[in-house]
């Protein structure tokens, strides 16, 4: 008789993916940081954002004052570095070699344009379920915003960004199981809402465009 495997059946992923999570996150340096494969860079980012949060929220540093102090410190460091390079065996700072690559801005513009198109599609109500889910999500976020400052909210979002991907990668099966159960309950709720409420909302006739 064939021996049945006792391993649990593989459930569909939360992200519905066929590729590794590293590839889903875009690969490269950013994915390494979010998944803590480059621990030095990840820890440096967490430390940097934590210091910024501490200065603004705990010490109550003014942004303009902090910016001016940082620029003054950088100018003093560059002044000492540049003028001491001839006396000590230091290499001059190659500041002209530093530039932000154009593909970075192109990628950001593409994402922003994609967001605008997606926002328009949702707002038109073509998918009523997604429309009401988005409205509910924005309302919840606005309610949460009443209890947190903008910087606190951004800091919490950053911590989620650098912790949730690695936690999902480690506990993927458990998260997928809970997500599938929750998704079934939400689908059942929206099916009931659609049957009893949304389908009874009157809609005007759709006018067909005249062919020229």
Query: How far apart are the two ends of the chain, measured CA to CA in Å?
Result: 71
Q: How far apart are CA 181 and CA 188, in angstroms?
A: 11
User: What's the CA angle centered on 149, arms 144 and 154, to 5 degrees?
Assistant: 85
Q: Tell whether the model's pLDDT for residue 192 goes beyond 60.
A: yes
- Determine contact, residues 21/165, Cβ cutoff 8 Å: yes
The SS3 assignment for 15 reads coil
Percentage of the chain beyond pLDDT 90 is: 3
The two structure tokens encoding residue 118: 């997606």
- CA distances for 162 relative to 52, 105, 170, angstroms: 16, 22, 14
Predicted pLDDT of residue 98: 65
- The pLDDT tens digits for 138-173 are 898 888 878 888 888 888 889 988 888 888 888 888
Q: How far apart are CA 70 and CA 27, in angstroms?
A: 32
Predicted pLDDT of residue 47: 92
Query: For all residues of the chain together, what is the average pLDDT?
Result: 77
CA 136 to chain centre: 19
Residue tagged 């005007």 (tokens): 204
Q: What pTM value is reported for the model?
A: 0.56
Domain borders along the chain are 25-59, 69-90+101-148, 150-200
Residue tagged 């996150």 (tokens): 25
- CA distances for 200 relative to 44, 155, 186, 191, 193, angstroms: 55, 43, 20, 13, 10
Predicted pLDDT of residue 111: 84
- The pLDDT tens digits for 2-37 are 444 444 444 455 555 567 777 777 777 778 888 888
Predicted pLDDT of residue 133: 86
């Amino acid at each position: 008789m064939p021996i049945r495997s006792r391993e649990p059946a593989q459930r569909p992923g939360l992200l519905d993916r066929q590729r590794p999570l590293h590839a889903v996150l875009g690969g490269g340096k950013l994915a390494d940081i979010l998944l803590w494969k480059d621990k030095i860079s990840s820890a440096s980012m967490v430390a940097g954002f934590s210091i910024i949060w501490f200065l603004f929220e705990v010490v109550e540093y003014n942004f303009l004052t902090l910016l001016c102090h940082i620029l003054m410190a950088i100018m003093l460091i560059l002044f000492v570095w540049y003028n001491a390079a001839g006396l000590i065996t230091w290499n001059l700072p190659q500041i002209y070699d530093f530039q932000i690559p154009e593909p970075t801005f192109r990628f950001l513009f593409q994402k922003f344009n994609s967001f605008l198109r997606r926002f328009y599609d949702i707002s038109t109500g073509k998918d009523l379920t997604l429309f009401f889910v988005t409205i509910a999500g924005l309302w919840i976020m606005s309610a949460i915003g009443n209890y947190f400052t903008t910087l606190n909210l951004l800091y919490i979002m950053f911590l989620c960004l650098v912790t949730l991907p690695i936690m999902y990668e480690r506990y993927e099966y458990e998260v997928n199981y809970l997500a599938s159960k929750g998704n079934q309950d939400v689908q059942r709720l929206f099916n009931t809402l659609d049957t009893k409420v949304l389908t009874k909302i009157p809609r005007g006739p759709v006018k067909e465009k005249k062919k020229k």
